[in-house]
Amino acid sequence: MREQTLAQLETPALLLDEARMDRNIERMQARMRRLGVSFRPHVKTSKCIDVARRIMAAPEGPITVSTLREAEYFAAHGVRDIMYAVGIAPNKLAHVMALQDKGVRLSLVLDNLETARFLAERAEAEGREFEVLIEIDSDGHRSGVPADAKELLAIGRFLQHTGIEVKGVLTHAGSSYDCESPDAIRVVAAQERDAAVHAAQRLRAAGIACPEVSVGSTPTALLAEHLDGVTEVRAGVFVYFDLVMAGLSVCRIEDIALSVLATVIGHQHDKGWTILDAGWMALSRDRGTASQSVDQGYGLVCDLQGRPLEDFILVGANQEHGIMGRRSGKAGGAAPLPIGTQVRILPNHACPTGAQYGQYKVLGRGGEITATWHRFNGW
Amino acid sequence: MREQTLAQLETPALLLDEARMDRNIERMQARMRRLGVSFRPHVKTSKCIDVARRIMAAPEGPITVSTLREAEYFAAHGVRDIMYAVGIAPNKLAHVMALQDKGVRLSLVLDNLETARFLAERAEAEGREFEVLIEIDSDGHRSGVPADAKELLAIGRFLQHTGIEVKGVLTHAGSSYDCESPDAIRVVAAQERDAAVHAAQRLRAAGIACPEVSVGSTPTALLAEHLDGVTEVRAGVFVYFDLVMAGLSVCRIEDIALSVLATVIGHQHDKGWTILDAGWMALSRDRGTASQSVDQGYGLVCDLQGRPLEDFILVGANQEHGIMGRRSGKAGGAAPLPIGTQVRILPNHACPTGAQYGQYKVLGRGGEITATWHRFNGW
């Protein structure tokens, strides 16, 4: 396509800063090499083959997905090694089998005997093979069986007995998002690793092969001191980073590759407000920084080079209106931005913000739009 | 299409209860008749022609939109009278003119002289006519010029002088969403009406015709005691309602027409948690009930008939995982729902939840899926 300038875009628009993204990818890949683990990037953040191709080790994957729609889309683009990292439900098995029929090696996740039983019944009824990872609960934040629970071995033995391959164990230290310091993340990373490795050791001691030990979240992947015993890491948000990650000191503000381009449409001078045409629909309702030491409202306002405009954030948002004001709440100080001025807003959380858009406008190194990359949403 | 049962759907899926929706529409239309005003429904909630056709007075409209993409889509479906109710930005005028060229009567909104000036310049340069509503700030929550401000007349005179039609004034009492009682909503409704009517009177006294006086929000539309002097009402969320509206006593829980169908994929028995395959991506990050007297978490869990399951809500959510637990936080009591059980989750706010989906599964009176209606998102 012909290059576009930012001024030619209708707003709101989702910008992807290519240089920042490439740097983020290189950082994660270098870390994976140093830790000596394979990398199974989580493509739920981008939902875009153009982005995934820059992250994947090979055109066939491996990747991690959060929905079968992602599996479907990436399979259509040639990816063959896919882990669906959400506990499998009975109503999804027909879809799983359709994906297998397209040549996809799709691994499934479960954390209980009841699920193992319906999977075994279906495998037998349909003459199918499924490969499964058992989810381990390493921090009490969501799903998974504790690494030292009796049920872990019961699940493993049942699967082995019914001919379903136990490909491995996986865990996700979601609590790393709630840490208050890099040291706290390192503790969570060690806990994540230890839980997964311990679970795998128990399964192996019971005669179940369990080749894979899969862990991951962006904070723990970047801060783990070692990953001995782990075979692969999953992470997604690192590709763009966001204000929550910056608040965790996992990245810098200037690493954030995703932003929302918005335009000034009004002012409330007495309140020090500038009204933008990007509200919570454009940024998402995510307020992940609200519980961090610096609350960034609905997003941090930057100039077109991506540099923060003093302490201006979206202090409030309606569906299609953003209210830009000082983080301090004080009015005054800066000269008001004229009507029509464009700004870039860095999001709290890249995943929900990205999900509000059907495309990325790729911002090249010269500050021009060099490409439009499509992304998809939904299930 | 052939009817589907809920059990045949892959989850998460967005369900639209047709009987509830029709009842909600009838209620609003009856109110508009009683108040003696025309109705310009806001289609930002549904973004779906099948829904809009049930609300609109005629196939040509009128409607209110929040994005030019909505205007584009509804114009392609024959709608001709469209108000774009967000302050117009310079980078959207080419799109506005393209819509005019398709035969759409698109009214624009502004609240300042700077915008009026670029509109006038563009009108002259392109030989175009634009019609404009001046936005009035009736409650200090967002955009708009105060009804008694000097600038209101300056804007009106400037527009009239440059040949741009002042179609009217509009205001939106967004603060009605923060009210704590129906009486408080009635006060806000009176304030909304009075501000708009007063602004129109001032413009008319200055010789500016200002035929339309447009107000609206779902709470104020349903609770205003009278709308003397108002010519039209805008409202959107009434078509589905949601938990925020129920928390405001504007509707009952059993009026909520939108729900997310989800499936049980696991349990954490010691915590009293049931894990569902619908997380914040499926419900949105909206936590609008967090500031109300009953916090519904990420949504209220119901059975397949749409009846609340005791006090179970989504107490937490990951991207694709919902954590169902008691509102009280206590574990125990109810027998755990078996893996594979489907539930319906009522959303905090219909607009952002709907925006996570590309289609509605229409739930007929017999509890079967009778149709799939497409919706769109983005800009």
The pLDDT tens digits for A83-120 are: 999 999 999 999 999 999 999 999 999 999 999 999 99
Residues 6 or more apart in contact with residue A250 via CB below 8 angstroms: A182, A185, A218, A219, A222, A223, A241
Q: To probe the interface with B, which of A117, A135, A285 has the most B CB atoms within 10 Å?
A: A285
Residue A122's pLDDT band (cuts 50, 70, 90): very high
Indicate yes or no: CB of B142 within 8 angstroms of CB of A285. no
In chain A, the residue whose alpha carbon lies closest to the alpha carbon of B44 is A319
Q: Three-state secondary structure along A232-244?
A: EECCCHHHCCCHH
Looking at CA atoms only, how far is residue A64 from chain B in angstroms?
Answer: 13
CB B46, CB B375: distance < 8 Å: yes
Please, what are the domains in chain B?
21-238 (3.20.20.10), 253-374 (2.40.37.20)
Compute the average pLDDT of residues B267-283.
96
Rounded CA separation A97/A143 (Å): 24
Which among A12, A319, A349 is the nearest to B44, CB-wise? A319
The pLDDT tens digits for B183-227 are: 999 999 999 999 999 999 999 999 999 999 999 999 999 999 999
| A298-301 LR contacts (CB < 8 Å, sep 24+) | A298/A322, A298/A345, A298/A348, A299/A243, A299/A260, A299/A345, A299/A346, A299/A347, A299/A348, A300/A243, A300/A253, A300/A345, A300/A346, A301/A343, A301/A344, A301/A345
Indicate yes or no: CB of A92 within 8 angstroms of CB of B280. no
Q: Which residue has the tokens 């006086």?
A: B213
Indicate yes or no: CB of A355 within 8 angstroms of CB of B356. yes
Report whether pLDDT(A135) > 80. yes
Compute the average pLDDT of residues A223-230.
97
Compute the average pLDDT of residues A204-230.
97
Rounded CA separation B91/B95 (Å): 8
Q: To probe the interface with B, which of A265, A369, A376 has the most B CB atoms within 10 Å?
A: A265
The rounded mean pLDDT for chain A is 96
Q: Using an 8 Å CB-CB cutoff, list chain B residues near A118.
A: 339-340
Phi, psi of B59 (to 5 degrees): -60, -20
In chain B, the residue whose alpha carbon lies closest to the alpha carbon of A146 is B268
Closest CA to B147 of B208, B110, B201: B201
Looking at CA atoms only, how far is residue A32 from chain B in angstroms?
Answer: 24
Compute the average pLDDT of residues A52-76.
98
Q: What is the pLDDT of residue A3?
A: 75
Indicate yes or no: CB of A268 within 8 angstroms of CB of B112. no
Indicate yes or no: CB of B352 within 8 angstroms of CB of A287. no
Per DSSP, the three-state class of B278 is: coil
Looking at CA atoms only, how far is residue B156 from chain A in angstroms?
Answer: 16
Report whether pLDDT(A340) > 70. yes
Which among B89, B143, B286 is the nearest to A263, CB-wise? B89
Question: What number is the ipTM of this complex?
Answer: 0.97
Indicate yes or no: CB of A321 within 8 angstroms of CB of B142. yes
Q: Work out the percent of chain A whose per-residue pLDDT is above 70.
A: 99
Q: Work out the percent of chain A whose per-residue pLDDT is above 90.
A: 96
Compute the average pLDDT of residues A294-315.
96
Q: What is the pLDDT of residue B79?
A: 98
* Beta strand spans in chain B (E): 13-17, 38-39, 63-65, 81-87, 105-110, 131-137, 145-146, 165-170, 212-215, 232-233, 258-268, 273-276, 300-302, 308-317, 322-326, 342-346, 359-363, 369-374
Report whether pLDDT(B1) > 60. no
Report whether pLDDT(A2) > 90. no
Looking at CA atoms only, how far is residue B109 from chain A in angstroms?
Answer: 10
Residue A330's pLDDT band (cuts 50, 70, 90): confident
Looking at CA atoms only, how far is residue B229 from chain A in angstroms?
Answer: 27
Rounded CA separation A286/A242 (Å): 11
Which among B284, B321, B359 is the nearest to A285, CB-wise? B284
Q: What is the pLDDT of residue A336?
A: 87
Q: To probe the interface with A, which of B43, B281, B351 has the most A CB atoms within 10 Å?
A: B281
Q: What is the pLDDT of residue B4?
A: 87
Q: What is the pLDDT of residue B17?
A: 98
DSSP conformational letter for A213 = E
Compute the average pLDDT of residues B363-375.
96
Report whether pLDDT(A220) > 70. yes
Report whether pLDDT(A55) > 60. yes
| DSSP bridge pairs for A345 | A260, A301
Phi, psi of B228 (to 5 degrees): -60, 130
Indicate yes or no: CB of B285 within 8 angstroms of CB of A282. no
Which among A268, A340, A359 is the nearest to B118, CB-wise? A340
Compute the average pLDDT of residues A212-220.
97
Q: Using an 8 Å CB-CB cutoff, list chain A residues near B12.
A: 379
Residues 6 or more apart in contact with residue A242 via CB below 8 angstroms: A256, A258, A288, A346, A347, A348, A349, A350, A353
Compute the average pLDDT of residues A223-233.
98
Q: How many other C-beta atoms lie within 10 A of the C-beta of residue B103?
A: 10
Q: What is the pLDDT of residue B335?
A: 73
Report whether pLDDT(A193) > 80. yes
